[in-house]
């Protein structure tokens, strides 16, 4: 990719993020991506954004084709694997999603979001030990959402390690004091510690 194309893709991504926040209109976002694809038909990141946009409107076959094309154009496209994994997880295809997230974290091992999505997927598959490791990795990398601490707390509570679970969920609450799921787990753990 030439430097001008790189700048253009960055500008387009900024515009799409702004559109997403302002309008939330997935069809308008898709139309913008398709226009950019006409200008840069073989740009892998445009294909990733096309897949993301199709996923937003629920056209999963076209989303999958776009992600696969992005990977074909750039086998190191960690964003293509990550976004494809998110799409598959959204459709409850957790095993296929996990395969994508595993590649994404291998390609970009310091991306907190990648580890967090991997952990959620492992959790869904009942892979408790592996999920705990992924949540822990997300906390070590600096998860600022609190969800990695929440995931760790849930697993620790499942293992009857309630003191550790309380510490973990409270770390999550510090990051997002308004999240009801965090408060629910805290209350559950406190009840267990009180002997209820």
116 and 136 inside one domain: yes
pLDDT digits (tens, 9 = 90+) for 113-171: 999 999 999 999 999 999 999 999 999 999 999 999 999 999 999 999 999 999 999 99
Which ranges of 40-161 would DSSP assign to H, the alpha helix? 44-57, 60-73, 78-90, 94-107, 112-124, 128-140, 147-158
Q: What would the DSSP string read from start to end of 13-56?
A: HHHHHHHHHHT--HHHHHHHHHHHHHH-TT-HHHHHHHHHHHHH
CB of 51 within 8 A of CB of 71? no
Residue at which a domain ends, from 108, 123, 142: 108
103 and 119 inside one domain: no
pLDDT of residue 18: 66
pLDDT band at 74 (very low <50, low <70, confident <90, very high): very high
127 and 35 inside one domain: no
Domain total of the chain: 2
Residue at which a domain ends, from 76, 108, 140: 108
Q: Summarize the confidence of residues 90-109 as an average pLDDT.
A: 98
168 and 83 inside one domain: no
73 and 124 inside one domain: no
Q: Summarize the confidence of residues 96-125 as an average pLDDT.
A: 98
144 and 88 inside one domain: no
Q: Summarize the confidence of residues 85-106 as an average pLDDT.
A: 98
Q: Which domain holds residue 170?
A: 109-196
pLDDT of residue 155: 97
* Rounded Cα gap, residues 91 and 52, in angstroms: 14
With H, G, I as helix, E, B as strand and everything else as coil, classify residue 170. helix
Kindly give, in sequence order, each residue whose CB lies less than 8 Å from that of residue 75, ignoring residues fewer than 6 positions away: none
* Rounded Cα gap, residues 90 and 60, in angstroms: 10
pLDDT digits (tens, 9 = 90+) for 9-64: 666 666 666 666 666 678 888 888 888 899 899 999 999 999 999 998 999 999 99
55 and 152 inside one domain: no
Q: Summarize the confidence of residues 66-94 as an average pLDDT.
A: 97
* Rounded Cα gap, residues 8 and 74, in angstroms: 18
pTM of the model: 0.86
Picking from 77, 168, 71, the residue whose alpha carbon sits closest to that of residue 114 is 77
pLDDT of residue 2: 40
pLDDT of residue 15: 65
CA angle 183, 123, 156 (to 5 degrees): 55
161 and 101 inside one domain: no
Q: Judging by beta carbons within 10 Å of its beta carbon (0-12, 13-18, 19+), is residue 139 exposed, middle or buried? A: buried
83 and 117 inside one domain: no
CATH number for the domain including 195? 1.25.40.10
Residue at which a domain ends, from 83, 108, 133: 108
pLDDT of residue 3: 41
pLDDT band at 98 (very low <50, low <70, confident <90, very high): very high
pLDDT of residue 25: 79
103 and 116 inside one domain: no
100 and 31 inside one domain: yes
73 and 53 inside one domain: yes
Q: Is the pLDDT of residue 70 over 90?
A: yes
Neighbours of 16 (CB within 10 A): 19
């Amino acid at each position: 990719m030439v430097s001008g194309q790189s700048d253009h893709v960055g500008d387009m991504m900024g515009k799409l993020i702004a559109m997403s926040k302002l309008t939330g209109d997935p069809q308008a976002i898709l139309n913008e991506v398709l226009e950019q694809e006409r200008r840069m038909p073989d740009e892998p990141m445009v294909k990733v954004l096309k897949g993301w946009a199709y996923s937003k409107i629920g056209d999963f076959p076209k989303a999958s084709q776009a992600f696969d094309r992005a990977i074909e154009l750039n086998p190191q496209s960690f964003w293509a694997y990550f976004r494809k994994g998110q799409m598959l997880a959204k459709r409850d295809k957790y095993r296929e999603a996990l395969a994508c997230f595993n590649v994404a974290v291998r390609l970009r091992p310091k991306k907190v979001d990648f580890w967090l999505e991997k952990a959620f997927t492992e959790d869904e598959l009942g892979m408790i030990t592996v999920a705990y490791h992924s949540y822990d990795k997300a906390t070590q990398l600096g998860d600022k959402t609190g969800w990695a601490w929440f995931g760790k707390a849930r697993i620790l509570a499942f293992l009857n390690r309630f003191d550790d679970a309380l510490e973990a969920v409270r770390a999550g609450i510090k990051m997002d004091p308004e999240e009801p799921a965090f408060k629910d787990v805290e209350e559950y753990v406190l009840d267990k510690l009180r002997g209820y």
